[in-house]
Amino acid sequence: MRFFIIILVSYFLQHHCINGRISLSEHEALLGIKSAITHDPHNCLSSWNSTAHYCTWAGVICSSESASNRHVISLDMSAFYLTGTLSPDIGFLTNLRYLSLSSNLLSGPLPSSLSVLSNLRYLDLSWNKFHGSLPSSLSSLKALQSLDLSNNNFNGPLPLDVAKMAELRYLNLGLNNFSGEIPPEIGKLQFLEELNLESNALSGALPSELGYLTSLKAMFLANNKLSGDIPESFSHLNNLTDLDLSNNNLSGSVDRLGSFQSLIEILMDNNMLSGSIPKSLLGLPNLTRVFLNDNLLTGGFPETRDSVALNLVYLNLSNNELSGTLPPTIGKFSSLQSLSLHGNRFSGSIPPQIGNLQRLVQIDVSSNNISGKIPELPEVGRIVKQFLSRLNVIHA
């Protein structure tokens, strides 16, 4: 009998204790969260007191059951400009589905008690001062669909067991101090639609497993130390609309870029990419922004004969090793507003068809070998014409 009682007590402590504390009511847990706040400049938590039911407190939403069976399902304290830490008592809000503490000044490591919130679907702790490594126990949040920890001071490697959060649609760990390689396990997140790891200290090659993310619409990996070629498997990302790999050390060719039929924006500037630009790239129907500047690209201007990207607004191919003449088809990009081709080896004259670009407001072909007369440009002013002529042999 004594042994049986010990087992019961052990089970109770395991399932009803957080950081050594016996289970709190939701009212007590919320007050515990408030007690960890050291500064509330706008008195956003002034309603958090015993004179009103906690379901009426600022930022708190409860389920719609009867009063005796209501539970906190949403806690939104975003942009309260709070200073302090996140209390471990957060773990007692076990019915929580939505938690946003974004745009505050909260600091300290994340409490491990977050991992017991098994009903959580949405977690946003972005734009704070949280630090330390991510607890591996976060992978226990198997119902989570959106995780945003961006713009904090987290460090260490990315968690290898992130794949256990199999329901993730949105993952943003950007603007932190994460280091090491991108875990190939991320490629198992079959429902992931947006991956943002930008502005960290990540290194190594792009895992080919990222090409398995066939639901992915946006990939932001800019401002890291990534190297190596773009994996061939990326050609399977048929739903990708936004790709930002800028400011890394990536090398190899870009010949697969034309296969991303859904692309709207592609930013791969400031790398060490080489080879020629595929002609099919500027024929993608939805393309609006192309930034391939500051690489080692060679060959000519990517002339497409079948179709052109009629929605293209920004095209920057500057500071490469592109050569040859500018084709007449450049005048077909009817939405183009900014064209930057400076710092290449283009020669010949500027085709008169460039005058068809009625929306063009900025053009720079300086530091090339272009000669001849500047065509009539509808909206381009004197200052921009100077960019046309600088370090070329052309005249107005």
Helix (H) or strand (E) holding 34: helix 26-35
39-51, pLDDT tens digit by residue? 999 999 999 998 8
* 3-state secondary structure (DSSP) of residue 61: strand
| Percentage of the chain exceeding pLDDT 90 | 77
Cβ(124)–Cβ(146) below 8 Å: yes
* 3-state secondary structure (DSSP) of residue 380: coil
* Ranges in the chain, pLDDT < 50: 1-17, 19-20, 381-383, 385-386, 396
Helix (H) or strand (E) holding 201: strand 201-205
Read off the tokens for 303.
């002339």
Cβ(240)–Cβ(219) below 8 Å: yes
What integer pLDDT is reported at residue 303 of this predicted model? Answer: 83
CA 195 – CA 174 distance, rounded (Å): 9
CA 255 – CA 238 distance, rounded (Å): 16
263-303, pLDDT tens digit by residue? 999 999 999 999 999 989 999 999 999 999 999 999 999 98
What integer pLDDT is reported at residue 242 of this predicted model? Answer: 98
What integer pLDDT is reported at residue 307 of this predicted model? Answer: 72
What integer pLDDT is reported at residue 5 of this predicted model? Answer: 39
DSSP, residue by residue, 144-194 = --EEE--SSEEEEEPPGGGGG-TT-SEEE--SSEEEEPPPGGGGG-TT--E
What integer pLDDT is reported at residue 384 of this predicted model? Answer: 54
Whole-model pTM: value is 0.90
**Phi, psi at 247, each rounded to 5°:** 60, 55
